[in-house]
A and B are shown apart, each in its own frame.
Chain A
Amino acid sequence: MIINSLTINYGGQEKSFHFSDKNTIIHSGENSRGKTTLLRLLLYSLGYNIPGTRRFKFANVSVKSNVVTDNGELYVLDRTSSDYLTICTGTTQQTYCLPEQIHDLHSLLFGTNNRDVLNNLLGVFYLDQEKGWTLLNRGIVIGSNRFNVEDLIQGLSGRDCSELKQIEQSLVKEMGKFQQIANVVKYKESMAESAGLLVTEKYANELDAEIAYKEIEINEIKKEINRIDKVLQSNKYLKRFIEDMNLIVQTPNGESIHVTSNNLIGLNDSIDYLIAKRKIKAAEYRNASRVLETLLHERSDRDEPELFSVESIADVFDQMVKQFPYGYARIETIINNLKDQISSTRTLISEATRVGNDVVSSLYNTIVKYAEELELGNNSSITRGYLFTSNLKELSGAILHKFVFVFRLAYISEVKKRLGITLPIILDSPSGKELDQDNKELMIRILNRDFSDHQIIIASIFDYNLESPSRIELDTMLME
């Protein structure tokens, strides 16, 4: 995919930026001129959920980008809101709700509908200046966009682990619940210790059940009233719309009739119907609320002398906690059990991803190739398992920086090899703080040599020896 241009409209001011289909350097002599903002807006225009920068709130920005997909389709992407994006090609226009339809949108732009790939693609081609250069194989790309190498590999190799992942997610959720319960049980036991005994009172009785039932009923009525209001609003809007249009129709006998809500069959009926229905629901709500109020008074009268010396939420909470019949030891056992299950599920996912997988071998070989070139090691010092390492602490700043670069190049190559997608490469501040000039040259040499058919966009305060780059100079602020 190639991004040809980006037009930004901010507070009525409009500015366009054009990108080469080969190499583009976004340069400024000083920091904080808007290079990162420009790159982020570029990604925002592609439909990603990207956070704004300190000075630029994306909610107030409209962006329009012009892109060409790998199969030669030209699209104009117009995003005026974080909630949706409109895409135009020739005379057709399609709106995508975001983030709900982001997969549909990206499948059009990138030419694959594999969700594991699409979910991880941003982490493949974009390196953010803040988090990007420490993201090796899993973690946050930017904002809420995450990257996971195992998911990417599953997508590239067509290995579907969705069932196992669902099991893992529900186990993690379950464990979270039990960890909360464990906290509450610890609290219960500390209460019992301080009181000298564990008091159990019968809390749930018929009155409580009746109150709960009434509360559920009231919530349902409220939901129904909200639903009616929405439909009523929509019908009223239509009524106004029709009246405002001042339509005149001609009958078969030549008579002209002015179209109003009164002669449009059924329109007023539909509104009267909803108004009556709403009134009925409102009456039901009033009645149910009155009954609930009475029941709550009854309960308060019942409980006050026996259970509560002080009416407070904390007292109610304590009372409910006392009723919980399990001790901490029991909960701890459950949590340990869940941990084991999560761990074995993850092992299964991992095995399903790694064992006998060509994509893993291919990625490994590419990583070793570039690692050797950047003097990071060779196939004896870099093991196959390194592809999935989570131990980044042992890597010093410059080495981690280069490894990140190498891993990304491997991902980009693999995406191209498996799916035929030529991704753009977008690098924000690739020099880093600890990278010397030689290493910088080595990195650029690889890009020039092996990725010359990709669109490369680099934002930096430094210059790079990319082959015949076009330049965007930000001497002043982005929109000045």
Chain B
Amino acid sequence: MFYMDRSAVPLMFGINFQVNAAIVLMLENIKTLKTLRLEGEEDIEMQLEGNNYILAQAKAVVKSSTDFGNVRKSFSKALLSLSEAAEHVSGEKSLIVITNSLNPLKDDELKLIIAGRQTRRKYTELPESSKKIIADILSNNKDIKTPLNLEDLSIHVLPFETDNDYEKYKIVLDVISDFLGMFDIRFEGLRTKLHDIWSNSVFDSGTKVNRKIKLTKQDIVWPLIVSVIDKKYLSEESVFCTGLDEADYQDVCAKYSSIIDSKCERFDFVTRVITDYENKRSRSMNSIQSFVNNNWEVYRDDFESQSLDDNIVESLIKVTLSNILLSRRNIDSIKSKVKL
């Protein structure tokens, strides 16, 4: 999990929430996302395709389901900050107050709508009672000098509470699971692993003094690709493509992972395999499985070793070929789905 002191010190808790809120917004907008940065013009600043921006204020309350004492004050500060930031950003903007408070305006009607769940409401979709509270906040906060276009404003509620990681991150992890659903990927532990990686990357983006340094879509998507095409995750399909017994397959992967990885990552070798596969495939409806099993001997020279038995070399080549071809398919699929 994201490495940070988990004690309920409000400041730390706030930063942790900000990171997780950024991950949720990032995944919800991944197709059009260009860059992301914490503590840019706003707590969370995202640039989208077509000169569109998302500017978000993240407001966290340690006891978010019971403590509503300061929520309106906090909301008022968020509006002030958003109004100032909006002035500095040209282009279309979405202004978001994202919070873990289950009643961010201390409004019973809104609380009923939220009902403890993740919620996204545009200003226009808020109950009248909430709109009135916002209007009051805007008229009472004399510091807000720039008029806020309320049609750009949304409230997002992201439940995030307790020191128990499982409970605190469950909604964020669900969002990651939904995102992975786009690719039809379901691997044990993958969403937690990605949450760790993204938390670190997003947090790091907020620690750079130079504001021009932002997290790009590539920075976000490639760790996903790496995790997905890791051979451990691919084993079932790869076992099938190699035609090997599962135990033999696992044995070769465990003993020769460095050789397999290095071959699968070297561009010259990968290109050769993919080109060979495409040439064969264009002549007949050749599946990865039949390509691997009918052509593995072509690559024997690349795996020549006096210390390996012939049958081990055969398995090694088959595992490598199937991993290369399946990886390529996964890379293309993920890139295309997130428009990278």
Contacts and interface: CB of A to CB of B under 8 A. Distances in A.
A269 interface: yes
B286 interface: no
A474 B297 CA distance: 57
A266 B222 contact: no
A227 B262 contact: yes
A239 B229 CA distance: 23
Interface stretch (A252-260, A277-285, A313-321, A380-388): A277-285
B3 interface: yes
Contacts of A272: 218, 222
B331 A273 contact: yes
A267 B223 contact: no
B220 to A, nearest CB: 10
A249 to B, nearest CB: 14
Interface stretch (B11-19, B160-168, B263-271, B311-319): B263-271
A216 B274 CA distance: 36
Contacts of A230: 262
Contacts, number: 59
B131 to A, nearest CB: 44
Given A266-B270, A279-B223, A290-B3, A274 B197 contact: no
A277 B228 CA distance: 11
Nearest to A290: B3
A275 interface: yes
A152 to B, nearest CB: 24
A13 B173 CA distance: 70
Contacts of A276: 219, 222-223, 225-226
B223 A273 contact: no
A273 B3 contact: no
B267 A275 contact: no
Nearest to A242: B267
B287 interface: no
A266 B226 contact: no
Interface in A276-308: 276-277, 279-280, 283, 287, 290
B156 to A, nearest CB: 28
Interface string B232-271: 0000000000000000000000000010011001111011
A235 B265 contact: yes
Contacts of B274: 265-266
Query: Which residue, of A235, A265, A277, has the highest number of chain B Cβ atoms within 10 A?
Result: A277
Query: Which residue, of A267, A274, A280, has the highest number of chain B Cβ atoms within 10 A?
Result: A280
A230 B259 CA distance: 13
B79 to A, nearest CB: 36
A275 B262 contact: no
A231 interface: yes
Interface string A227-243: 11011001100110000
A270 interface: yes
B100 to A, nearest CB: 25
B222 A270 contact: no
Given A273-B225, A276-B222, A276-B223, A283 B200 contact: yes
A239 to B, nearest CB: 8
Instruction: Tell me whether chain A's interface is mostly helix, strand or loop, or mixed.
Output: helix
B328 interface: yes
Given A227-B258, A279-B223, A273 B265 contact: yes
Contact of B328 (A239, A266, A280): A266
Contact of A280 (B197, B266, B331, B335): B197
Contacts of B335: 269
Nearest to B196: A283
A235 B225 contact: no
A238 B258 contact: no
A238 B268 contact: yes
Given A266-B267, A290-B3, A273 B261 contact: no
A264 to B, nearest CB: 8
Contact of A235 (B196, B219, B258, B267): B267
Given A227-B261, A290-B3, A275 B266 contact: no
B323 to A, nearest CB: 13
Nearest to A235: B267
A234 B331 contact: no
Contacts of A279: 201, 223
Given A266-B271, A283-B200, A235 B266 contact: yes
B226 to A, nearest CB: 5
A265 to B, nearest CB: 8
A280 B223 contact: yes
Contacts of B229: 273
A274 B264 CA distance: 11
B262 A273 contact: no
Interface of A: 227-228, 230-231, 234-235, 238-239, 265-267, 269-277, 279-280, 283, 287, 290
The 8 closest A-B pairs by CB, nearest first: A276-B222, A270-B267, A231-B265, A235-B267, A277-B226, A276-B226, A276-B223, A272-B222
Interface of B: 3, 196-197, 200-201, 218-219, 222-223, 225-227, 229, 258, 261-262, 265-268, 270-271, 274, 328, 331, 335
16 contacts: A227-B262, A231-B262, A231-B265, A235-B265, A265-B271, A269-B331, A270-B265, A270-B270, A272-B218, A273-B225, A275-B222, A276-B222, A276-B223, A279-B201, A280-B197, A283-B197
Given A272-B222, A276-B222, 9 more contacts: A230-B262, A231-B261, A231-B265, A238-B268, A267-B267, A267-B271, A271-B267, A276-B225, A283-B197
